[in-house]
Amino acid sequence: MRHRIFHHSESRDAWTDLLFNALLGFAFMFITAFAMINETNATGKIESKAEVLVTVRWADDHPDDIDTLIEDPQGNLLWYRNRDTGLMHLDRDDRGGLADRMSVDGRQITASINQETATLRALSPGEYVVNVFHFKANTPSPVTVSVKVEKLNPRVELLHYDTVTLTGLGDEKTAVRFTIDGDGEVVDTNTVSKPLLSTATRPFQ
């Protein structure tokens, strides 16, 4: 019987092959796992898009409830009872001092900022009206409200920034009216008063 004799060089080659194959296996598993992670991230990705951002603010820690009202060219009315209409969305309805406190692990956390935001996801030709409404008055004093309107595309452009004073429960003021042409450009802005809530729809009645 003839016996094969393995030399040291042959055993080293076998060990090298084994190590190389193991490294290839680890590399393959790493690439596969990385691809799966990227695929999961891609499927969970949410792209937010808006053309106009409306920001309404009043004094921090103020207990009064101020509402944002927006009317689009089609007559759709955005407000807290209709938070998603047409191409408009009320992102945050701030109720003043109400619901600004919560208990976490026995500690009271307070959100002092009073701010509402609304977005217009696309623009149609015509006039938009932005009003503010004194929904609930917990103090006897007037409330100064700032209103900022920004056009976001193709670059951020400030369309309007000013303050209005609300004098108490039920007071509604026009902050700004702006008109969009067929090319999506703003061609006019003004502050001529236009009430958006009729007596029949006012929530406090």
Q: Where are the beta strands (DSSP E) in 106-181?
A: 107-110, 114-120, 126-136, 143-151, 157-166, 172-180
Condensed to tens digits (0 to 9), the pLDDT of residues 120-132 reads 999 999 999 999 9
At 164 the pLDDT is: 97
- Residues paired with 160 in a beta bridge: 149
The two counts, helices (H) then strands (E), for the chain are: 1, 13
At 76 the pLDDT is: 97
Fold of domain 52-190 = Lipoxygenase-1 (2.60.60)
Domain boundaries, the chain: 7-46, 52-190
Condensed to tens digits (0 to 9), the pLDDT of residues 41-61 reads 444 443 458 999 999 999 998
| pTM > 0.75 | no
What's the number of CA atoms in the CB half-sphere (13 Å) around residue 194? 18
Residues of the chain with pLDDT under 70: 1-48, 95-111, 198-205
